[in-house]
Amino acid sequence: MIQDSGMARHVLRRLLSLIPTLLMLITVAFFLMRMAPGGPFDSEKFLPAEVEANLEAKYHMDESLLQQYFRYLSQIAVLDFGTSIQYKDWTVNELIAQAMPVSLTIGLSAMLLAFLFGTLLGISAALRQNTRVDYLLMGVGMLGISIPNFVVAPILTLLLAVYAGLLPAGGWDWSIASMVLPVVTLALPVTAYIARLTRGSMIEVMHSNFIRSARAKGLPESTVIRRHALRPALLPVISFLGPATAGMISGSVIIERIFTIPGLGSYFVQGALNRDYALVMGVVIFYGVLIIMLNFLIDLIYAWLNPKVRYDEKH
Amino acid sequence: MTKNTDKPVIDPFTAAMSVVDVKGRSPWEDAWHRLLKNRAAVYSAFIMAAMILLVVFGPMLISWESDFTDWDNTSTPPSFSTGHWFGTDAVGRDILVRTLEGGRISLMVGLVATIVSLLIGVSYGATAGYFGGAADRIMMRIVDIIYALPFMFFVILLMVIFDRNILLIFAAIGAINWLDMARIVRGQTLSLKNTEFVEAAKACGVNDWDIIRRHITPNLLGVVIVYVTLTIPQIILAESFLSFLGLGVQEPMSSWGALVSDGAQDMESAPWTLIVPSVFLTVTLYCFNYIGDGLRDALDPKDRV
């Protein structure tokens, strides 16, 4: 009972703290984009002054910056991200709705892959601490962390697509074959990092007193690992999932570009280059909200897995 | 004033110490011995030193200029007979010279932007940790908020919006990476400020800024060294990331990221243009990560990953 109200308070406190983060995200993105010299209509050939004035009026760019800012805030309060300037017939909502499933599929599969393989490799390295297997796994892991996405992607493409002809070199048609390269490339550094993280915390946990007690009461080693060691060992991995997602999202900008995938990352870069205010803001806010919500969820999972957090809240 | 008064107090002490025969090992010496035992870190340090020498002096020793276009040898594979040991790109420029000169930029960005992030992170973290209370809560709340933002997107926006000069790259990338530093330094400061020697300094009437500067900061050195070594590869990576997107350093300057990007376009006809800069970049990041890991194990044994 007491525990429940502690948890509820924890949830509420966390939810309230999301508001300033969101506001800051929107504000920074808005003013950063508007500070830019040059506007979205610069690339059009010679616009008569009247036409340009009309265009600016249509997108409310004739108003003061502050007016525009509050207009934008009231707009996104009802989840309307406005119209894209570059893709004339599209609203930003439609563009995001179209690109999101692609990016989400890649991101989620990569995250799942990274979590599964990362923890598995980390645990097996930890249980064989200081053996050759451990050194090999960690050496490969360090390589995985060190090789940038944009090096892995072309090299894998060269080997598997160009030379071996096993997979398509780019493009996206929702087939498994077209997903393999982008997902693997995106998952690689995160897998490696999770493996190192898991190994470190697993080693620490295996040396702690409660594991010794569990062994002393005669539990078989596999039960000790599954029932006692796993949960505390995974805590650092859980809290790493937030930064990992943020990292994957910026990685996806590169991946989508290399593999010509029509996802949110490609829209973002294109939009930024074309000063498509509404589109860029839409993507930034969408991803920002995603990261913020995810961090919130991770926080809850963490508090649920780790009773210490809940008890600390009360004092 | 304080400087003049504490000199003579310390000197008789050290004089007395040097008479005693038993020589203890300082924590720094201990750390140094732990570091030397870490073979991966030692090898990485040697490779890194060689890499720095190569990047700094290499271009002077090679007869090709980085912007010289050898029209007789466009997209030639690595060979000794043409004089282009690592091949040429599509317009006949020597890949090795370009990679080494790109390395100068990449390493320089890594160094300068790390200093930027170091200055911001340490002063921010030390201030928050030392003052504690409401100031600390507000300052760390701000860090939390910034932490949750998709930062790379803002850097991309910055690079698109402003003229891409190299100073902006330093500042923008340095500004991303100070958050971790600030958090770590703050935590360390929190535990330091309750130690006896800080209390003693307070009791002597030393003011807050002097305590931060003379007593807190030197004791932060260990963690800071570790995180600097781990920040450098992150920053080199971030710069390459931007350059790969075409948002980093601009022609005629080049960096490893830009070269990898160029190479990726020609990889089917001339894979060496991709492989050579990729190997240099990866080896550098690999070595920095291992050195940082080794330093962390040596200096901060309780917090290993």
Most confident of A115-119, A171-175, B50-54: A115-119
Q: Considering chain A, what is the average pLDDT of its residues?
A: 81
Measure in Å the smallest separation between the Cα of A2 and chain B Cα atoms: 27
pLDDT of residue A204: 85
Q: Please compute the mean of the pLDDT values over residues B47-68 and round it to a whole number.
A: 81
Q: How confident is the model at residue A2 (pLDDT cuts 50, 70, 90)?
A: very low
In one letter, which amino acid is B49? A
Q: Which of A25-39, A169-183, A215-229 has the lowest mean pLDDT?
A: A25-39
Residue B304 pLDDT exceeds 50? no
Residue A313 pLDDT exceeds 60? no
Selecting from A150, A196, A284 the residue whose C-beta is nearest the C-beta of B241 gives A150
**Beta-carbon separation of B268 and A155 below 8 A:** no
Q: Please compute the mean of the pLDDT values over residues B59-77 and round it to a whole number.
A: 72
Residue of B291 and B151 predicted with greater confidence? B291
Q: Please compute the mean of the pLDDT values over residues B103-111 and round it to a whole number.
A: 87
**Beta-carbon separation of A142 and B286 below 8 A:** yes
**Beta-carbon separation of A250 and B282 below 8 A:** no
d(CA A223, CA A216): 13
Residue B206 pLDDT exceeds 80? yes
pLDDT of residue A111: 92
Residues A262 and A102: beta-carbon distance below 8 Å: yes
Q: Which residue of B has its CA nearest to A200?
A: B305
Selecting from B146, B150, B282 the residue whose C-beta is nearest the C-beta of A250 gives B150
Instruction: Give the SS3 label for residue B88.
Output: strand
Give yes or no for B304 touching A (CB within 8 A). Answer: yes
Selecting from B157, B263, B264 the residue whose C-beta is nearest the C-beta of A272 gives B157
Q: Please compute the mean of the pLDDT values over residues B82-97 and round it to a whole number.
A: 74
pLDDT of residue A117: 93
d(CA A244, CA A254): 16
pLDDT of residue B3: 47
Measure in Å the smallest separation between the Cα of B162 and chain A Cα atoms: 7
Q: Please compute the mean of the pLDDT values over residues B139-161 and round it to a whole number.
A: 77
Measure in Å the smallest separation between the Cα of B97 and chain A Cα atoms: 20
pLDDT of residue A303: 78
Which of B38, B44, B143, B153 is the mutation pick for testing A, counting most A CBs within 10 A?
A: B153
% of chain A with per-residue pLDDT over 70: 89
Q: What is the pLDDT of residues B238-265, one digit of tens each?
A: 888 888 887 777 777 788 888 888 888 8
Q: Strands (DSSP E) along A79-168, which ranges?
A: none
pTM score: 0.79
pLDDT of residue A195: 92
Residues B106 and B240: beta-carbon distance below 8 Å: yes
**Beta-carbon separation of A158 and B271 below 8 A:** yes
d(CA A293, CA A155): 34
pLDDT of residue A120: 92
Q: Please compute the mean of the pLDDT values over residues A266-289 and round it to a whole number.
A: 82
Q: What is the pLDDT of residues B232-244, one digit of tens each?
A: 888 888 888 888 8
d(CA B249, CA B151): 19
Contacts A285 to B, Cβ<8 Å: none
- Token pair recorded at residue B100: 């080494």
Contacts A258 to B, Cβ<8 Å: 264
Q: Which of A14-23, A35-44, A223-232, B231-240 has the lowest mean pLDDT?
A: A35-44
Please, how many CA atoms are within 13 Å of residue A29, restricted to the half-sphere of its CB? 31
- Token pair recorded at residue A195: 């493996």
Selecting from B145, B149, B244 the residue whose C-beta is nearest the C-beta of A254 gives B244
**Beta-carbon separation of A21 and B145 below 8 A:** yes
Q: What is the pLDDT of residues B154-197, one digit of tens each?
A: 778 777 777 667 777 777 788 778 888 888 888 888 888 788 88
Selecting from A24, A143, A147 the residue whose C-beta is nearest the C-beta of B145 gives A24
pLDDT of residue A33: 74
Residue B5 pLDDT exceeds 60? no
pLDDT of residue A40: 61
Q: How confident is the model at residue A121 (pLDDT cuts 50, 70, 90)?
A: very high
**Beta-carbon separation of B162 and A36 below 8 A:** yes
Q: Which residue of B has its CA nearest to A135?
A: B40
Rg of chain B over CA atoms, in angstroms?
24
Nearest Cα neighbor of A192 from A249, A247, A115 is: A115
pLDDT of residue A302: 80
pLDDT of residue B18: 57
Please, what is the Cα angle at A111 between A206 and A242, to 5 degrees? 75
Selecting from A32, A253, A292 the residue whose C-beta is nearest the C-beta of B154 gives A32
d(CA A242, CA B188): 23
Q: Considering chain B, what is the average pLDDT of its residues?
A: 78
pLDDT of residue B20: 55
Residues A235 and A201: beta-carbon distance below 8 Å: yes
pLDDT of residue A1: 41
- Token pair recorded at residue B40: 């991966």
Q: Which residue of A has its CA nearest to B149?
A: A288
d(CA B262, CA A230): 45
Residue B16 pLDDT exceeds 60? no
Residue B73 pLDDT exceeds 80? no
Residue B24 pLDDT exceeds 80? no
Instruction: Note which residues in 191-250 of chain B have CB less than 8 A from chain A.
Output: 233, 237, 240-241, 244-245
d(CA A145, CA A186): 11
pLDDT of residue A113: 93
pLDDT of residue A238: 86
Q: What is the pLDDT of residues A197-211, one digit of tens each?
A: 899 888 888 888 888
Contacts B152 to A, Cβ<8 Å: 246, 249-250, 253
Contacts A253 to B, Cβ<8 Å: 152-153, 156, 245
Give yes or no for B271 touching A (CB within 8 A). Answer: yes
Residues A255 and A172: beta-carbon distance below 8 Å: no
Residues A198 and A239: beta-carbon distance below 8 Å: no
Contacts A35 to B, Cβ<8 Å: 161
Bond prior to B252 in cis (omega within 30° of 0): yes
pLDDT of residue A119: 92
Q: Please compute the mean of the pLDDT values over residues A94-120 and round it to a whole number.
A: 89
pLDDT of residue B305: 38
